[in-house]
Amino acid sequence: MTHPSITSAATRRRSAARRSAAGLALLLLTGVLAGCAGSADTAGAPVRLLGPAREFHGTWLEQPLPEPDVTLTDTSSKPFDLRRDTAGRLTLVYFGYTHCPDICPTTLADLTGALRNLSKAQRDKISVVFITTDPDRDTPDVIKSWLAAFDSSIVGLTGDYATIRSAAKSAGIALEPPATKKGAYEVTHGAQVIAFDGTHQGRLIFSSGTSSADYVADLRKLLGRVTLETSTPGTGGQEAAS
């Protein structure tokens, strides 16, 4: 189901941006972080060199990014250890928030479309994790309700802001606290989706605007290229990849 807040303007922006990372030969990750409210402060965020990989629509990480080593709270109000509970799976991590007016719902809609176009065997090896950048408003119940408009299998996480910001920074995603928390405020955050392999290494980064078709093509290739180790299912209730 397409989320009702997705506008035609957002769709036009997606079309314009969908291939922005595909042909990059050398890129500073922290130089392209932009979220729903403009450019995020990137001071202190890790700098990583990204290398081209013509077979992907996303950008291959020559120097892998570490999957955040963090425990947050899922939509059942239970602890979710990101590394333990996604071990052995291809894991797509996205930082955003439910009140985001355009980029976040568009990204989730594209990811949902991609999941629906993968085979069951492929889908069973993939986890999608949404981590809020707005924990004051995004309670477990709020996130659960919002994700239900996309795909109920998507893991939604919240926690205290400092922990979330630290986790994002460890993966090269910059967050910026809102200038005010009055009214319908927006939160600036990096808008990329990072694909981590079964050993917690970030291998591919998708820019904002990546289409469902491009996600499908890249995810199929990633499943055949990256390491997925067999693991015991964690508290996230997901089966391990074979």
pLDDT of 155 > 80? The answer is: yes
d(CA 206, CA 196): 12
* Model pLDDT, residue 15: 42
pLDDT of residue 187: 87
- pLDDT above 60 for 7: no
Q: What is the pTM of this model?
A: 0.78
DSSP letter string, the chain = ---TT--HHHHHHHHHHTTTTTT-SSEEGGGS-EETTEEPP-TTPPP-EE---TT-SSEEEEEEEEPP--EEEETTS-EEEHHHHHTTSEEEEEEE-TT-SSHHHHHHHHHHHHHHTS-HHHHTTEEEEEEES-TTT--HHHHHHHHTTT-TTSEEEE--HHHHHHHHHHTT--EE--S--SSS---EE---EEEE-TTSEEEEEE-TT--HHHHHHHHHHHHHHS--------TT--PPP-
Note the pLDDT tens digit of each residue in 86-112. 999 999 999 999 999 889 999 999 999
In this predicted structure, the answer to whether residue 241 has a pLDDT above a threshold of 50 is no
First-last CA distance in the chain: 30
Instruction: Specify the higher pLDDT residue, 225 or 140.
Output: 140
Give me the chain's average pLDDT, please. 79
**Selection from 237, 202, 215, 197 nearest residue 115 by Cα:** 215
pLDDT at 109: 96
What percent of the chain stands above pLDDT 90?
A: 58
Question: What pLDDT digit, counting tens, does each position of 167-187 carry?
Answer: 999 998 988 888 777 778 888
The per-residue pLDDT for 96 is: 95
User: Measured at the alpha carbon of residue 8, what is the angle toward residues 4 and 12, in degrees to the nearest 5?
Assistant: 135
Among the residue ranges 21-30, 112-121, 123-132, 210-219, the one predicted with the least confidence is 21-30
Q: What is the reported pLDDT for 53?
A: 55
Which pLDDT band holds residue 227 (cuts at 50, 70, 90)?
Answer: confident
Sign of CA dihedral 3, 19, 92, 179: negative
- Whether the predicted pLDDT of 59 surpasses 50: yes
Per-residue pLDDT, averaged over 63-77, amounts to 95
Average pLDDT, stretch 218-222?
95
Is residue 91 within 8 A of residue 67, CB to CB? The reply is yes
Mean of the pLDDT values across residues 129-151? 96
With a cut of 80, say whether residue 64 has pLDDT above it: yes
Of residues 83, 80, 106, the one with CA closest to residue 196: 83
